[in-house]
């Protein structure tokens, strides 16, 4: 039984993780009877997408409550061998469970989150000790979870993959008004943790971003928003910086494949999918010098201190002069969903 509450219209990264995990599970273990739990109004849409799975609905809206109470109850009634959830573990231990925790940055950096977000996310550590298996993406995040949740004895770093839409045969869709190799790209939710103001100040101040070679920002507002200075707002008004909001997977693929440089100056991440996607699609990548990116990207990216505007700008200009697009082969655990699926399945035998 799978917590699929983020299908089909949950937060973009969470929705993608659930969709790709379910698709990989059905592909690699077609003999498993997979039951997906979604909100009532989405049963038909999700059933149409995953025709070989059983889809059931719940009228409850609060994700932690559904995972903690509803899923284990339905699992017992249906004879399920395992419950797989996102972030929030089931209360009951009668059915084995595997929970994937995206990150606990709210524990180490609460100022990045609103009060309501912190209250909501505080339920994650409260429920963690009830899980049979706790999973996360990176070893860096596994260490963070263990350091701040002494009741948790083990966390499996299982990696994440890349969305099939970015690597499959479907053609990329050009974005109107953009010229290949004549723009910089930043991707991510628009909040204080993504450090967008610093990225823009560095790009514009160094001359990396101009009207002829703009910085394109893809993402939607989420959580505690970052204050943008008058200088940043002026660069938006001039066209040196352009906000696209959300884009389709086909458009995102085109942006990755045709940007001159991809920049991701996030202050921290549990995993950080965008730079991995960018590297896999051949973009030169500049990321913040944080342990998680050293782990996931290694020598495939260039690093800069995320709060040093001048250094970020200098590095951008250096890469714009020297960078050439190359297809970088990351280790399989950086681009495959297999380990996540297999680790979750093993919890049923625990």
Q: What is the chain's pLDDT, residue by residue, as a tens digit (350 residues)?
A: 999 999 998 888 999 999 999 999 999 999 999 999 999 999 999 999 999 999 999 999 999 999 999 999 999 999 999 999 999 999 999 999 999 999 999 999 999 999 999 999 999 999 999 999 999 999 999 999 999 999 999 999 999 999 999 988 888 999 999 999 999 999 987 788 999 999 999 999 999 999 999 999 998 765 555 667 788 888 889 999 999 989 999 999 999 999 999 999 999 999 999 999 999 999 999 999 999 999 999 999 999 999 999 999 999 999 999 866 666 778 776 778 999 999 999 998 87
Same domain, 135 and 204: no
Judge if pTM exceeds 0.85. yes
pLDDT, residue 297, reads: 96
Cβ–Cβ < 8 Å for 299, 190: no
Same domain, 61 and 192: no
Phi, psi (degrees; rounded to nearest 5) at 175: -95, 125
Q: Are residues 78 and 139 in the same domain?
A: yes
The answer to whether the CB of 289 falls within 8 A of the CB of 182 is no
| 217 shares a domain with 131 | no
Same domain, yes or no, for 131 and 246?
no
- The answer on 306 and 227 residing in a single domain is yes
Which residue segment(s) compose the domain that 185 sits in? 165-329
In whole angstroms, how far apart are CA 54 and each of 36, 38, 66?
6, 11, 18
The answer to whether 250 touches 172, Cβ cutoff 8 Å, is yes
Burial of 210 (0-12, 13-18, 19+ CB in 10 A): middle
Alpha helices in 33-114 (DSSP H): 43-49, 63-65, 71-78, 105-108
Number of structural domains (the chain) is 2
Model pLDDT, residue 325: 67
The DSSP bridge pattern shows strands 2-3 and 35-39 to be: parallel
Non-local (6+) Cβ contacts of 192 within 8 A are 112, 223, 224, 225, 226
Are 142 and 180 found together in one domain? no
Residues 268 and 305 in one domain: yes
58 & 125 share domain:
yes
User: 188 and 139 in one domain?
Assistant: no
Do residues 172 and 143 both lie within one domain?
no
| 65 and 119 both lie in a single domain | yes
The pLDDT score that the predictor gives to residue 226 is 63
CATH number of the structural domain spanning residue 206: 3.40.50.2000
CA distance 58 to 68: 13
d(CA 67, CA 6): 12
């Amino acid at each position: 039984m799978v917590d699929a509450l983020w299908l089909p219209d949950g937060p973009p990264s969470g929705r993608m993780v659930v969709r790709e995990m379910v698709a990989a599970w059905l592909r690699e273990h077609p003999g498993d009877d997979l039951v997906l739990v979604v909100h009532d109004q989405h049963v038909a849409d999700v059933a149409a997408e995953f025709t070989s799975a059983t889809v059931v609905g719940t009228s409850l809206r609060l994700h932690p409550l559904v995972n903690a109470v509803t899923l284990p109850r339905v699992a017992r009634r249906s004879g399920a061998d395992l419950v797989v959830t996102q972030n929030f573990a089931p209360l009951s231990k009668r059915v084995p469970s595997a929970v994937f925790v995206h990150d606990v940055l709210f524990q180490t950096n609460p100022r990045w989150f609103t009060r309501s977000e912190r209250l909501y996310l505080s339920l994650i550590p409260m429920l963690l000790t009830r899980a049979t298996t706790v999973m996360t993406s990176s070893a860096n995040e596994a260490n963070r979870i263990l350091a701040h949740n002494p009741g948790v004895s083990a966390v499996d770093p299982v990696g994440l993959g890349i969305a099939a839409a970015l690597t499959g045969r479907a053609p990329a869709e050009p974005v109107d008004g953009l010229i290949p190799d004549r723009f910089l790209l930043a991707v991510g939710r628009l909040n204080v943790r993504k450090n967008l103001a610093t990225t823009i100040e560095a790009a514009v101040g160094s001359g990396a971003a101009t009207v002829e070679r703009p910085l394109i920002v893809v993402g939607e507002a989420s959580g505690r928003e970052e204050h943008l200075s008058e200088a940043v707002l002026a660069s938006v008004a001039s066209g040196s910086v352009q906000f696209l909001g959300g884009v389709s997977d086909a458009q995102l693929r085109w942006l990755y494949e045709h940007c001159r440089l991809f920049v991701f100056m996030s202050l921290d991440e549990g995993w950080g999918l965008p730079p991995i996607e960018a590297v896999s699609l051949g973009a030169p990548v500049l990321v913040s010098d944080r342990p998680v990116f050293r782990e996931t990207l290694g020598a495939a990216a260039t690093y800069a201190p995320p709060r040093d505007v001048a250094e970020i700008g200098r590095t951008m200009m250096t890469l714009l002069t020297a960078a050439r697009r190359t297809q970088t082969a990351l280790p399989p655990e950086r681009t495959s969903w297999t380990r996540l699926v297999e680790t979750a399945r093993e919890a049923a035998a625990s």
